[in-house]
Structure 1
Amino acid sequence: MAMRPCRYDRGDTPLCGPLVAVRPGRPAPSTETRTRKIGGLTVQVNALIIDSQDPERLAAFWSALLGRPIARRGGPYVWLRRDNDLGLGFQQAETPKPDKNRVHLDISSPDPAAEQQRVEALGGRRLEEYSDGGFLVMADPDGNEFCIIPTGAFEMDDNGRANYLD
């Protein structure tokens, strides 16, 4: 699949599809964990795109949860304001989410139980089927899984079971 060139709206929001090219002359991000040199080129994770049958509704949920206002709408996309040099967009999809996510977000909070209540008030829900793992696994209104983890360190056993809910 070929890369489509991107333009940037006021330097923040990519005006392109799900494949996003780094803007020429754009400074490297301050975080080394998302940037890597490959063959002399600097590449980075530029944006996370989540497919949805109702991108407006899903963008509103994540906007409220993350405190990132909706920055732009264009074509099948709804974009939240960029934060820490990472875009978050929602793309119109014709089909519902089929199964468990292969990739999920971890949202950190100093009080995961209070954050769970806030997520539920926004339209998310807890996924009890993952409780045995010791993680607080939630789903957004489209059923996309994400975890609420405590801010800072927490312990895991040799099987990867967390203990912050105990």
Structure 2
Amino acid sequence: MALRIYTVIIDAQDPKRLAEFWSQALGYRIAYEEGADVAIEKPNDDRVPAILFQVVPERKVVKNRLHFDLAPDDQKAEVERLQKLGAKEVDIGQRDVTWVVMADPEGNEFCVLTAR
């Protein structure tokens, strides 16, 4: 049986805002909008799952149980670029680590790794 992840769903209060942030962060494009929900996808690559931002009424209140690890060519430059897009560095209790923990505009944590 062949099985693959087709879409990753992220709950959001403002799906459009998060879709715009993540599409710019990852170099994805807006694939479609349905009601308040917005999906983004990597252009010309259907092997990579789409990301769907679905509207929910409640705010995020706890640390994510799933997050993205992003592998840039230049960690410092990428952190600065993501901050300009609206991300913030956050402290979730990490100690002396080589990655930078950040949060998107709605507080969803993700990590920016060292160059790989």
Structure 1-normalised TM-score? Answer: 0.63
Q: Which amino acid aligns with 2:108?
A: N
**Looking at both structures, which has the greater relative contact order when contacts are Cα pairs under 8 Å and sequence separation is at least 6?**
2
* CA deviation string 1:41-70 (max 9, x = no partner): 322111111100000000000011011111
2:9 counterpart SS class? strand
1:129 CA displacement: 4.2
What secondary structure does 1:118 align onto? helix
| Aligned twin of 2:8 | 48
Counterparts of 1:139 and 1:130, CA distance in 2: 14
From 103, 113, 131, the counterpart of 2:76: 113
Matches for 1:97-108 after TM superposition, within 5 Å = 97-108=60-71
Alignment TM-score, normalising by the size of structure 2: 0.88
Structure 1 residue 86: deviation in Å?
Answer: 1.0
Q: Are residues 1:149 and 2:101 paired?
A: no
Alpha-carbon distance change, 87 to 147 in structure 1, aligned in 2, over 3 angstroms = same
> Unaligned 5+ residue runs, structure 2?
none
More deviation, 44-53/128-137? 128-137
The superposition leaves residues 91-134 of structure 1 with CA deviations (integer Å, 9 ceiling, x where unpaired) of: 00100011000000001101111111011100110013444151
- Counterpart CA distance in 2 for 1:104 and 1:91 is 16
Residues paired across the two proteins, number: 112
Indicate conservation of the 8 Å contact 1:130/1:137, yes or no. Answer: no
Q: Unaligned stretches of 5+ in structure 1?
A: 1-40, 153-166
Aligned-pair Cα RMSD in Å: 1.5
**Higher Cα Rg: structure 1 or 2?**
1
Give 3-state SS (helix, strand or coil) of 1:73's partner.
strand
